[in-house]
A and B are shown apart, each in its own frame.
Chain A
Amino acid sequence: MDAVLLAQEYSAFKRELDQKGIIFSFSGYLSEGILYSLGEALREKMALEEMDGPTVRRVFSVFVEQMQNIVRYSAEKLARDDPQPIELSAGMVTIGTENDTFFIVCGNAVHNRDVPRLRERLEFLKGLDREGIKTHYREQLRENPEEGSRGATIGLIEIARRASQPIEYDFAEMDGGKSFFCLKVRV
């Protein structure tokens, strides 16, 4: 491709992201290491904007829980055990500001068989008010984790608790018995 077009194409892509208020966006294989690095960048950005400590931690907390959901539950993973273990999970994360509030959107593939239960959980959380979310958190804190959940139940409650507006989610059918799951949280 012509170098001029190359720059045009990617500056248009970047402009589109900028216009949507996106601070950063990452798509591809995610890991705990990437979570840590992006988290540091996010906190530095918020520190530069002189946001207060509790707000920074609320945004950071939603970011961590969202990212860990992808790392743990993405239905598209690459893994090996030897010589040293590697686990990469496909997904995307986008962080930006909209009308002076932060938003964090995460997306990843999930197996269709897991969709009804995930939808049910999210719908339940959406229907709770602040007190209800607090009570639910307190109950789940004292529950033993569900088989195969690796802690997602309380992670989603934590996300809903730190959100300033009701969480938004959606599913889109993909090939191979999978769906693309998207969760948008405003803090």
Chain B
Amino acid sequence: MTTERLRIAATGRSPEVDFDFDSGVLRLKGESYPDDVAAFFGPVLGALRSYLGESAPQPIRFDMELMYFNSSSAKALMNVFQMLEGAAKQGRPVVVNWYHEPDDEAMQELGEDFSLDLQHVKFNLKESPAGGGR
């Protein structure tokens, strides 16, 4: 059984999720400070775990396009990164693209914080066009 594509529309305080497991392109976009972090990220982490458990080790591209996330979301995101690193360690090609606005040093620095112990995931810091969000 294959994991179904996970699509969640953005709200004022939770990001758009589009995990297209067939193509291996996973995306988080927008802002993340949900009132209940466990309720929001639980299904997201669950779907990812199920997908990574499947046998076909197809390449994964994770596009991280969050403009802002709070500290509780940061812990959940760290789980995502640890799961991706685990998959990459087992030989699955994984690329993470961490987008930040050109003048947003804080988001750039957060990218560095998250990428520190990624040894098997290929991590790219990328500039997104300014004014793409608030």
Show the binding face of A for B, using Cβ within 8 Å: 32-33, 35-36, 40, 43, 47, 52-54, 56-58, 60-61, 64-65, 68, 134, 137-138, 141-142, 145, 150-151, 154-155, 157-158, 162
Contacts and interface: CB of A to CB of B under 8 A. Distances in A.
Contact of A54 (B71, B72, B106): B106
Nearest to B108: A54
B105 A54 contact: yes
Contact of B116 (A65, A138, A158): A138
Main secondary structure of the interface of A (DSSP, over half): helix
Contacts of B116: 138
Please indicate which of the listed interface residues A32, A36, A43, A53 has the most CB atoms of chain B within 10 Å of its own CB.
A53
B109 interface: yes
A141 B74 contact: yes
Interface residues of B, number: 27
A137 B113 contact: yes
A154 B75 contact: yes
A151 B71 contact: yes
Contacts, number: 66
Nearest to B105: A54
A155 B71 contact: yes
B106 A154 contact: no
A158 B71 CA distance: 7
Contact of A53 (B104, B113, B114): B104
Given A36-B12, A53-B104, A61 B72 contact: no
A145 B13 CA distance: 23
A57 B12 contact: no
A142 B82 CA distance: 10
Given A64-B33, A134-B109, A134-B113, A53 B74 contact: no
A78 B96 CA distance: 43
**Max count, chain A CB within 10 A of own CB: residue among B12, B37, B74:** B74
Interface in B91-131: 101, 103-107, 109, 113-114, 116-117, 130-131
A43 B113 contact: no
B70 interface: yes
B105 A145 contact: no
B11 to A, nearest CB: 10
A61 B109 CA distance: 15
